[in-house]
C-alpha cells in the first residue's frame, strides 16, 4: 500500500473523527442500541401472564379449576374479581390478559352431569402476549375437559384406567428447535442492534461521494488530475473498517458476555458481516453519488434503511408477505443479511446453503459501486 493511499485513508479518518455528530453516532450508537435492547428484553420470555379468576361458584370443584389455572404454564393468577364486570374493567385497563369465569352452580352441574361452561377470555390486542396466553390456555382447557370427561365416565361405571386411556390416548411431546426456551433475547436483541448499526452505517456511507464532490476542495482534487478511483477506494476502505470496528465490540458483548447463540462460529459471522458492511456501503455510496447534497443523500439512505428491517422478513416472515412483494424485498442487502444472520446464529445450515447469501451481498456491492461510478462520472461531465 503506497504512502499516498495511507494519506487518503488518514485524511478520511480525520474527517470522520472531526465530524462530531457522525463521530457520536458511530462510536456510541450501536453499543448503546445493544445495551438498550438487552435491557428492554431483560425478561427474555413472556411468562407469568397476568390472569384473573372470577369464581362465581366458590365450591370445591371450582377451586379445583382455579388450582389448575394457577398451576398452568406461563399463567399467573394475580387477582380474583368478584364479578364479570370487574373483570371486564381490568381487561379494558390492560391490567389482566387472561380472564377465567367459573359460573354459578358449576359444582352442582358437574355433579349432576349437566352441561356447564367455563369462560376463558384472552385480551388479544397485543399479539405477542395473546399468542403465549392462548397456548397456555389451550393446555389448561385440554386438561380440564379431559378430567371432567374421565370423571363422568367413571361415574357411569367405567374402570378409572380405562377412562383415562380413552381420554389421553395420544400423547404429544413438543420441542422448539434452535431456540428451545423461546427466548426473545436470542431472537431479537442482536438483530435490533444490527438494525441500529446498519442505520448508523447508512448515515456515514451516504456522504461518501457528495462529501467530496460537494465541497470546494473537489476542484483542487480534479485540477491535479488525482485518480477518482484511488480516492474513493481508500475512503471506502476506511468507512468499511470503521463499520467493522463498530460491530466487533457489539459481537463480543453479545456472543462473549451475554452468550447469545452463534451456531456458525465467530469467523464466518464476521466475514458475512463484512460483506454486508461492503454491500451497505455501496448502497450509501450510490445514493451519495446521485444526491444534490449531503442531507438529501442521508434522507435517501434512511428512507431505505428505516423500513428495511420490517421488509427483511426477520420478524414478520417473507412467506407471509404478498406474492408480488416477496421477490422485491430480496433487492435490499438488509434482507440477505438478516435472513442469513438468522440461519448462521441459530442453524448453521452449511456453506452449500449459505453460499447464495454471501454471493448476493457481493453482487449487490458490485452493482451499486458500478452504478455509483457511472453516475459520478456522468455528473462530472
Partner 1 sequence: MKQLWNIAHYEFLHVLKDPILILIVFIAPLFYASLFGVVYFSAILHDVPLAIVDQDHSALSREIRLAFANDDSFKIIAGIDSYEEMEIGMKNGTLRAGIVIPQDFEQSLYQNHPTQVLAVYDASNLIWGLNSRKFIREVINDFSTQHTAVRLASAGYSPQEIENIMNSVECNVTAWNNPTYSYTNYLFMGLMMMAVHQLGLFGVCLCVTREKERKSWIQYLAASIPTWKIALGKSLPYLIMNFFNYSLILWVSSRFVQVKIEGSVALLIILGLLYVITVTFAGFIISLYSSNSLQATRYLMLLSLPLFMISGYTWPKAYIPEILNYIGVLFPSTWMMLGIRMVSINTAGLQLLWPTLLVLGIFAVLAGYFALNFKKERNQPNKSSLSLNGGVSYPRKTNMLRALRQQIRASKL
CA dihedral 98, 102, 103, 109 (to 10 degrees): 140
Element (H, E) at 340: helix 333-342
Question: CB of residue 225 vs partner 1: minimum separation in angstroms?
Answer: 13
Residue 120 binds partner 1, judged by CB under 8 A:
yes
Query: Cα–chain-centroid distance for residue 88?
Result: 33
Pick the piece of the chain touching partner 1 (CB under 8 A) from 1-9, 51-59, 143-151, 250-258.
143-151
Residues in Cβ contact with 272 at an 8 Å cutoff, skipping those fewer than 6 apart: 337, 340, 341, 344, 354, 357, 358, 361
Q: Which of 53, 54, 200, 246 binds partner 1 (CB under 8 A)?
A: 200
Q: Which of 233, 330, 346, 358 binds partner 1 (CB under 8 A)?
A: 346
How far is residue 164 from each of residues 126, 140, 156, 170, measured CA to CA in Å?
37, 17, 13, 11
Query: Cα–chain-centroid distance for residue 78?
Result: 30
Residue 86 binds partner 1, judged by CB under 8 A:
no
Residue 157 binds partner 1, judged by CB under 8 A:
no
Q: Which of 4, 119, 245, 366 binds partner 1 (CB under 8 A)?
A: 119
Pick the piece of the chain touching partner 1 (CB under 8 A) from 114-122, 227-235, 249-257, 265-273.
114-122
- HSE-CB at 24 with a 13 A cutoff on CA atoms is 2
Residue 60 binds partner 1, judged by CB under 8 A:
no
Task: Report which of 265, 261, 72 is spatially closest to residue 180, judged by C-alpha positions.
Answer: 261
Pick the piece of the chain touching partner 1 (CB under 8 A) from 3-11, 42-50, 249-257, 264-272.
42-50
Residue 1 binds partner 1, judged by CB under 8 A:
no
Residue 369 binds partner 1, judged by CB under 8 A:
no
Shorter beta-carbon distance to partner 1: residue 33 or 333:
33
Pick the piece of the chain touching partner 1 (CB under 8 A) from 128-136, 239-247, 276-284, 362-370.
128-136
Residue 96 binds partner 1, judged by CB under 8 A:
no
Shorter beta-carbon distance to partner 1: residue 161 or 257:
161
Residue 242 binds partner 1, judged by CB under 8 A:
no
Question: CB of residue 365 vs partner 1: minimum separation in angstroms?
Answer: 23
Answer yes or no: are the C-beta atoms of 340 and 354 closer than 8 Å. Answer: yes
Buried b (16+ CB within 10 A) or exposed e, 316-345: eebeeeeeeeeeebbebbbbbbbbbbbbbb
Residue 343 binds partner 1, judged by CB under 8 A:
yes
In eight-state DSSP terms, residue 103 is P
Answer yes or no: are the C-beta atoms of 199 and 306 closer than 8 Å. Answer: yes
Task: Report the relative pairing of strands 49-55 and 98-102 from DSSP bridges.
Answer: parallel
Question: CB of residue 144 vs partner 1: minimum separation in angstroms?
Answer: 6
Residue 238 C-alpha cell reads as: 476506511
Question: CB of residue 121 vs partner 1: minimum separation in angstroms?
Answer: 6
Residue 294 binds partner 1, judged by CB under 8 A:
yes
Looking at residues 166 to 195 of the shown chain, list those that interact with partner 1 (rule: CB under 8 A). 166-180, 182, 184, 187-188, 192, 195
Residue 104 binds partner 1, judged by CB under 8 A:
no
Q: Which of 270, 307, 370, 377 binds partner 1 (CB under 8 A)?
A: 307
Amino acid at each position: 500500500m503506497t504512502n499516498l493511499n495511507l494519506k487518503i485513508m488518514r485524511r478520511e479518518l480525520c474527517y470522520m473523527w472531526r465530524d462530531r455528530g457522525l463521530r457520536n453516532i458511530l462510536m456510541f450508537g450501536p453499543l448503546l442500541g445493544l445495551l438498550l435492547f438487552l435491557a428492554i428484553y431483560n425478561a427474555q420470555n413472556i411468562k407469568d401472564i397476568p390472569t384473573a379468576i372470577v369464581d362465581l361458584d366458590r365450591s370445591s370443584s371450582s377451586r379445583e379449576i382455579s388450582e389448575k389455572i394457577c398451576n398452568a404454564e406461563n399463567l399467573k393468577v394475580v387477582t380474583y374479581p368478584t364479578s364479570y364486570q370487574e373483570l371486564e374493567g381490568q381487561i379494558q385497563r390492560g391490567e389482566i390478559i387472561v380472564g377465567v369465569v367459573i359460573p354459578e352452580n358449576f359444582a352442582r352441574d358437574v355433579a349432576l352431569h349437566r352441561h356447564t361452561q367455563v369462560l376463558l377470555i384472552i385480551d388479544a390486542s397485543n399479539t405477542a402476549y395473546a399468542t403465549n396466553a392462548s397456548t397456555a390456555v389451550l393446555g389448561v382447557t385440554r386438561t380440564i375437559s379431559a378430567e371432567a370427561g374421565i370423571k363422568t365416565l367413571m361415574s357411569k361405571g367405567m374402570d378409572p384406567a380405562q377412562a383415562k386411556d380413552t381420554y389421553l390416548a395420544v400423547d404429544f411431546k413438543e420441542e422448539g428447535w434452535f431456540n428451545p426456551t423461546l427466548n426473545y433475547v436470542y431472537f431479537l436483541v442482536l438483530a435490533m442492534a444490527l438494525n441500529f448499526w446498519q442505520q448508523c452505517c447508512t448515515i456515514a456511507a451516504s456522504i461518501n461521494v457528495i462529501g467530496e464532490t460537494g465541497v470546494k476542495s473537489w476542484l483542487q482534487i480534479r485540477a491535479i488530475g488525482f485518480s477518482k478511483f484511488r480516492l474513493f477506494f481508500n475512503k471506502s476502505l476506511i468507512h468499511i473498517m470503521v463499520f467493522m470496528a463498530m460491530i466487533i465490540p457489539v459481537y463480543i458483548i453479545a456472543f462473549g458476555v451475554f452468550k447469545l447463540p452463534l451456531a456458525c462460529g465467530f469467523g464466518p459471522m464476521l466475514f458475512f458481516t463484512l460483506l454486508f458492511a461492503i454491500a451497505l456501503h455501496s448502497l450509501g455510496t450510490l445514493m451519495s453519488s446521485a444526491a444534490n447534497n449531503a442531507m438529501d443523500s442521508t434522507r435517501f439512505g434512511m428512507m431505505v434503511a428505516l423500513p428495511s428491517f420490517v421488509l427483511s422478513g426477520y420478524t414478520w416472515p417473507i412467506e407471509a408477505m404478498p406474492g408480488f412483494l416477496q421477490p422485491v424485498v430480496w433487492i435490499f442487502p438488509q434482507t440477505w443479511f438478516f435472513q442469513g444472520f438468522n440461519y448462521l446464529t441459530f442453524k448453521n445450515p452449511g456453506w452449500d446453503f449459505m453460499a447464495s447469501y454471501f454471493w448476493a451481498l457481493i453482487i449487490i456491492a458490485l452493482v451499486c459501486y458500478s452504478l455509483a461510478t457511472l453516475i459520478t462520472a456522468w455528473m462530472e461531465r
